[in-house]
């Protein structure tokens, strides 16, 4: 049997190098104690921000210095904890960091109400001083939040509630990554393998239908065994969102979430409406998939297996890096050189080990490299796409942090998903050109790109609508029970996939396994992101240097503007439904191409 390796058995060269953060755990402890002591200094500033420009600026700079130190502390703790979620030492370190963050937030909670209490004309005069040039957008956002900021005493209480508010997410993470087991399963060759988050998607692309069907039902059996606990956890996460929205005078949790990005709720609704009104290309594809696979019925476990099944994909991590570099050549030698060095020399934790956090992400802080967590599977083409996706995030971080001061370096998730899916789009363009004379491989790549857009545009929009509905249930003072969640999710599955997909009852449990639901109203950004990315990739490949430079300059903006304004500088207006309509048209064109190429096989 092939078992998941222990962390200690993974080669050092396959792990990320966290020494740029801390040489060892002892140095982490030293900074932890320093910050604990420094927090007391907030009392020297409280109540004095209105006295003078010097006092005003001094308070902000003191806060930024501590925040920058804490960012290093937190990043190391969460990365170490994610290496093995069952490792109690690093779980304790992570919990200490979160507790410290709560105390830090509590101690600094006077700042926003105090800034807002100063006459706006005085604040704007301060902003005009040359010494405040880096703080303009930071202060604009604080002034904009004035109707949603409470008194110092209430802000202090809200800050104290930080750890409690994080509890649903943390409980789900521990259940999902540390406690949940999926048992062993035989692959199509008869070899017994331990089923996991990391290889579940690999089983779903197995050409043997019985293998992927068994993996599907066995995987969801684990969620079925914990369904009441997870449903209650998700319900309380939504209630937490409602609590904070109400306290801050927002009409809804959704409005509260979108406010920070200055994204109107109409953008969210336009996305759902546009996708809902343009599902014919998806239905056409699902019908073709059923016919191409020779099935009487199409089930969810049939939607990821490649339609061209005799392509033996096997790409080592190093080969995947080289392929990614070639695909991103339109972005220039500087971009590609930086990315190649990072991916091969310490940015990436490459492979699955027992207890490791599932999925993939890019993380880091202002004073560290942009780290990437992967669970790379050489036989799964999705791993190649995941690598180039996370590298897009990391290069965005690299350019942002090398172009912006600390206060404006962190970009929003809204634009983050553009940088990552842009890279995926270029990869598909590259592979289609590389295999243009090989109909079988071309059909394979078209199939993969169609499935990616289906999962990112259609499916993430469905997730977004579930979030909208489930939060509305809570906000209407109605119960959000397991049965209610499953019924709402089943209705959405039926609406988004019509009669083209047989919806097995256990698929409604999917609502219980999406980690992003604990970061409310996050997933819609994947769908808007891929829409913007498709438009930008088309510009960069068709218009050349000027479009490339505009795109790279967009990456350098960090968090110095609101996300919709940043995208306008790159040439895309996400305030309009047009990019989403264009992405759906692109999807339909790919489906037509696939049907044509497949017909020549």
Q: Is 192 a known active-site residue?
A: no
R_g of the chain computed on alpha carbons: 24
State CA 351 to chain mean position distance. Answer: 19
Interatomic CA distance for residues 76 and 381, integer angstroms: 30
| Count of alpha carbons within 13 angstroms of residue 210, beta-carbon side | 5
Contact 270, 579 (CB under 8 A): no
Picking from 147, 102, 67, the residue whose alpha carbon sits closest to that of residue 59 is 67
Contact 385, 423 (CB under 8 A): no
Picking from 113, 112, 101, the residue whose alpha carbon sits closest to that of residue 161 is 101
Ordered DSSP codes for 148-192: G---HHHHHHHHHTHHHHTHHHHHHHHIIIII----EEE-TTS-E
Query: How crowded is residue 314: how many other Cβ atoms within 10 Å of its Cβ?
Result: 10
Q: For the chain, how many helices (H) and strands (E)? A: 26, 5
Contact 66, 38 (CB under 8 A): yes
Contact 446, 594 (CB under 8 A): yes
Contact 84, 7 (CB under 8 A): yes
Picking from 379, 381, 327, 285, the residue whose alpha carbon sits closest to that of residue 598 is 285
**Is the sign of the CA dihedral 396, 399, 400, 402 positive or negative?**
positive
DSSP summary character for residue 250: -
Residues 6+ apart with CB under 8 A from 403: 556, 557, 558
Query: How crowded is residue 214: how many other Cβ atoms within 10 Å of its Cβ?
Result: 17
Task: Out of 83, 106, 155, 390, pick the active-site residue.
Answer: 390
Q: Where are the beta strands (DSSP E) in 173-251?
A: 184-186, 192-194
Active site residues: 390
């Amino acid at each position: 049997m092939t078992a998941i390796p222990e962390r200690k058995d993974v080669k050092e060269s396959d792990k990320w190098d966290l020494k740029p953060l801390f040489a060892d755990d002892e140095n982490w402890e030293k900074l932890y104690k320093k910050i604990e002591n420094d927090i007391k200094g907030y009392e020297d500033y409280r109540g004095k921000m209105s006295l003078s420009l010097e006092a005003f600026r001094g308070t902000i700079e003191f806060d930024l210095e501590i925040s920058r130190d804490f960012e290093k502390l937190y990043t190391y703790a969460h990365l170490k904890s994610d290496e093995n979620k069952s490792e109690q030492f690093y779980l304790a370190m992570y919990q200490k960091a979160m507790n410290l963050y709560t105390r830090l937030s509590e101690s600094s909670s006077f700042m926003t109400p105090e800034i807002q209490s100063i006459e706006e004309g005085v604040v704007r005069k301060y902003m005009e001083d040359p010494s405040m040039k880096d703080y303009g957008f930071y202060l604009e956002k604080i002034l904009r939040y004035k109707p949603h900021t409470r008194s110092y005493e209430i802000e202090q209480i809200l800050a104290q509630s930080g750890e409690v508010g994080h509890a649903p997410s943390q409980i789900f993470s521990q259940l999902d990554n540390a406690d949940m087991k999926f048992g062993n399963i035989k692959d199509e060759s008869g070899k017994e393998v331990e089923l996991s988050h990391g290889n579940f998607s690999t089983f779903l692309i197995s050409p043997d239908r019985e293998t992927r069907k068994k993996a599907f039902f066995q995987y969801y059996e684990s969620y079925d065994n914990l369904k009441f606990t997870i449903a209650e956890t998700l319900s309380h996460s939504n209630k937490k969102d409602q609590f904070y929205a109400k306290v801050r005078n927002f009409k809804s949790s959704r409005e509260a979430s979108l406010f920070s990005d200055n994204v109107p709720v109409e953008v969210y609704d336009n996305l759902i409406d546009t996708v809902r009104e343009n599902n014919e290309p998806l239905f056409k594809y699902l019908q073709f998939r059923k016919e191409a696979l020779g099935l009487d019925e199409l089930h969810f476990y049939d939607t990821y297996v490649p339609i061209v099944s005799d392509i033996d994909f096997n790409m080592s991590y190093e080969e995947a890096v080289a392929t990614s570099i070639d695909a991103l050549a339109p972005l220039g030698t500087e971009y590609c050189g930086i990315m190649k060095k990072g991916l091969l020399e310490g940015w990436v934790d490459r492979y699955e080990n027992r207890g490791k956090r599932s999925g993939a992400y890019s993380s880091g802080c202002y004073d560290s490299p942009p780290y990437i967590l992967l669970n790379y599977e050489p036989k799964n083409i999705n791993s190649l796409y995941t690598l180039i996706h996370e590298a897009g995030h990391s290069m965005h971080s690299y350019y942002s942090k090398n172009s912006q001061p600390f206060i404006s370096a962190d970009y929003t998730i809204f634009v983050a998903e553009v940088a990552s899916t842009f890279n995926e789009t270029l990869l598909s363009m590259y592979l289609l050109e590389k295999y243009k004379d090989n109909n079988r491989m071309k059909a394979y790549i078209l199939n993969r790109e169609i499935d990616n857009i289906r999962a990112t545009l259609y499916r993430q929009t469905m997730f977004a609508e579930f979030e909208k509905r489930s939060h509305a249930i809570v906000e209407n003072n109605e119960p959000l029970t397991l049965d209610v969640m499953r019924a709402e999710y089943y209705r959405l599955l039926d609406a988004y996939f019509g009669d083209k997909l047989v919806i097995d009852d256990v698929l409604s449990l999917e609502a219980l396994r999406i980690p992003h639901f604990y970061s409310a109203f996050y997933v819609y950004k994947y769908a808007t992101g891929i829409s913007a990315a498709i438009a930008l990739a088309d510009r960069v490949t068709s218009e050349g240097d000027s479009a490339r430079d505009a795109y790279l300059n967009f990456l350098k903006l960090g968090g110095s503007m609101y996300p919709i304004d940043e995208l306008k500088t790159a040439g895309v207006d996400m305030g309009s439904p047009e990019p989403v309509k264009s992405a759906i048209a692109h999807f339909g064109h790919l489906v037509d191409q696939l049907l044509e190429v497949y017909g020549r096989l």
